[in-house]
Amino acid sequence: MPNRGAAATPPACAGRSRRRCAGCAPSASTCTRCTGPPRDAEFTGERLHHNLALLDALRPVADRHATTVATVAVAWCLAHPGVTAAIVGARDPGQVDGWIGAPDIELTTHDLTDIADAVHRTGAGQGRR
């Protein structure tokens, strides 16, 4: 079974969970991603942890479709009526492989309900406040 999104998935930070984000040094007691220079608020502090919880919650949906969480996220955008395209960025060409199959995924009502429940349960995806 392929590794689903590991290269694009930073784990959570030390001290707040059993995993670390890309900013954590192996022996660090604090995380430079959460305590370092300001970044987009969606990818720091508590919002980062909510978003990573959502990533974990979406894995069962991705597994049902034998794809990545990134593909499910883009497929979810495309599943909304009136949406004809999703603009997705990548830092390197290899990341495209993680979501290029999104237009071929047909999310079921069960999938859409699971995704909505995961967003609500994790507190992620609330947008900027």
Report yes or no on 32 lying in a domain.
Answer: yes
Domain membership of residue 129 (yes or no) is no
Residue owning tokens 């492989």: 97
Residue 62 lies in a domain: yes
Q: What is the predicted pLDDT for the residue at 79?
A: 94
Q: What domain count does the chain have?
A: 1
Question: Which candidate, 123, 5, 120, places its Cα nearest to that of 63?
Answer: 5
In a domain, 78, yes or no: yes
Residue 127 maps to a domain: no
Domain-located, residue 128: no
**Which of 32, 7, 36 has the alpha carbon at shortest distance from 21?**
32
The domain spanning residue 64 has which CATH number?
3.20.20.100
pLDDT value for 48 = 84
Would the CA dihedral through 1, 9, 110, 46 be positive or negative? positive
Number of C-beta neighbours around residue 87 at 10 A = 6
* pLDDT of the chain, 129 residues: tens digit per residue: 333 333 333 333 433 344 445 555 555 555 555 555 545 666 677 788 888 999 999 999 999 999 999 999 999 999 999 888 889 888 888 888 888 889 999 999 999 999 999 999 998 876 433
Q: Which long-range contacts (CB under 8 A, 24 or more apart) does 73-76 make?
A: 73/99, 73/102, 74/99, 74/102, 75/102, 75/103, 75/105, 75/106, 75/107, 76/107, 76/112, 76/115
C-alpha separations of 34 from 4, 28, 49, 59 in Å: 25, 12, 10, 24
* Structural domain harbouring 79: 6-122
Beta bridge partners of 14: 17
Would you say residue 106 lies in a domain?
Answer: yes
